[in-house]
Structure 1
């Protein structure tokens, strides 16, 4: 694959992440709760990734079960809570606002990396952190303050999605010292599925699961916005370094914002749009590091 095709592959994978709001919103309309949406996403992705890996290289499925703690970190502590917070934020605010708050993850990773890995704060990192803070304040309506009218629960959930997504990068950094990215991703979703399915109450949906529209959206979130998104993104990384890939992947919030506007009629005012731009700018600024642990990426 040429470098140009690799860049397109990364952009396409990120765009598939960006359309997740389509499937989530319709599943909500069918009566799914955020926990149930997380459950069908991680379970369908786990099944598809297990099948894909078994066919293409079953040796990738071998792990030492003593390393389960690594996948408890990536799968349960990170992916389950990241998805739950993201989907709650989408329900409580809007797709565009939820995905913008998700993109606080690089700022959290920068802070965690300073504490855990000793990575120094540089001028560009400090600038990125301040830009993220100002951008989020604009998006949620704290700047300029004219009365806070967004759901505080939704805003906190959106910030929580960025926090737990950032934790995935930290846990994955340790896991990738022993296993390939494919192995880490597969078992991340397997562990996430085992953790959440017993508590999701999918049996309560009853007749809803008999509807073709339910399975179309479950397939969409599991196949398009998770499995294929990961495969396209990972394929692109064969020729594109992760820092550049992270910048290309900012197409995700752009696509999410377009879906939010054109499909669901969710509007950002001028100040919120400025905040949206600042958050994306901060993601680009923070990619000065030669090895970026944020968007190593994304089992989301």
Structure 2
């Protein structure tokens, strides 16, 4: 049964990877990263509200202010993750930003140990190191020039990883005795309000009447609505640190999307990195019960 829940996490990561490719297409068409992120979260919010209504009996009852605060923090964390990630890309490039964002499992593991949520095992540590090595090959970070490694780009990339880790813990705390649909709906309502304060409202409004609207809708449905539902279901029987490593199938999916859809070519080292990530994630998924 544990493979069933692990599969949910993997499917969520695959959808996130596809979402990255769709967002790339929209950015190539001239749409700003913040507007793309806003619609991804806002449309995802609508999907999650539908889920909440379908599960209204499960989510009925009073919700403590503590629960709402944790859920709102999760929403802020997701908004921060998207924002810092795009900022890192603009300052240091995709290779550096991607690699730094996927340091999230390290922060999750350290936090889990500090708060005594789960124990650190040699297998978890080795798995994370191997996956990070695979990602460095996949993203070509080893080819990045020193001139591209500026402080703002590095710090924002690391903060995107911290934000992702913060989301996991905020959601876990908010969901201890509460309905996941309610928690996610609250989180994405917060996400939508936060990004609404920073986006270009004229550009966001024009998106509603553009020929690219369908792509925004698809991005929101698979990149937030369905994917976060799957991820939350997977977290029920998957530890935070293991889930964060398994979710690293996202950059693999993004690379394959670029290869198949955008016509990009993977080098030998990138292919090795992809294989390393897939093998490690598969082993971790099989052994996660004992981690």
**Structure 1 residues 161 and 267, CA, compared in 2 at 3 Å: closer, same or farther?**
farther
Q: Once structures 1 and 2 are overlaid, which stretch shifts more, 104-113 or 158-167?
A: 158-167
In the TM superposition, residue 281 of structure 1 has moved relative to its aligned partner by: 5.5
Alignment of 1:223-238 (within 5 A): 223-234=221-232
Equivalence for 1:172: 171
TM superposition shift of 1:155: 5.9
1:73 is aligned to 73
Corresponding residue number in structure 1 for 2:200: 201
Asked if 1:211 is matched to 2:210, the reply is: yes
Distance 1:282 1:85, change over 3 A: farther
* Partner residue in 2 for 1:28: 27
Question: How far apart are 1:211 and its partner, in Å?
Answer: 0.8
Q: Is the 8 A contact 1:103 1:280 kept in 2?
A: no
Structure 2, unmatched stretches of 5+, are: none
Structure 1-normalised TM-score? 0.75
SS of residue matched to 2:177? coil
Matches within 5 A, 1:187-198: 187-198=186-197
Deviation per residue, 1:163-195 (Å, 9 max, x gap): 211111122222122323222211111111122
Q: Distance in 1 between matches of 2:133 and 2:244?
A: 21
Hey, what's the Cα distance between the residues in 2 that align with 1:256 and 1:270? 17
- The whole-number CA distance in structure 2 between the counterparts of 1:19 and 1:74 is 23
Q: What's the counterpart of residue 121 of structure 2?
A: 122
Aligned mates of 1:50, 1:120 — CA distance in 2: 35
Note the 1:1-300 alignment, pairs <5 A: 11-57=10-56, 60=59, 63-76=63-76, 78-88=77-87, 93-94=93-94, 101-117=100-116, 119-139=118-138, 143=142, 147-148=145-146, 152=150, 157-205=156-204, 207-213=206-212, 215-234=213-232, 241-242=237-238, 251-279=249-277, 290=289
CA distance 1:162–1:172, change in 2 (3 Å): same
How much has 1:109 moved relative to structure 2?
A: 0.7
Aligned residues: 285
The DSSP-based 3-state class of the residue aligned with 1:31 is coil
Q: What's the TM-score once normalised by structure 2's chain length?
A: 0.77
Give the C-alpha shift of residue 122 in structure 1.
2.5
Taking a change above 3 Å as real, the CA distance of residues 207 and 247 of structure 1, as seen in their structure-2 partners, is closer
Q: CA RMSD in A?
A: 3.8
Change (3 A) 1:182 1:254: same
1:111-131: per-residue Cα shift (whole Å, max 9, x none)? 111222264433223323433
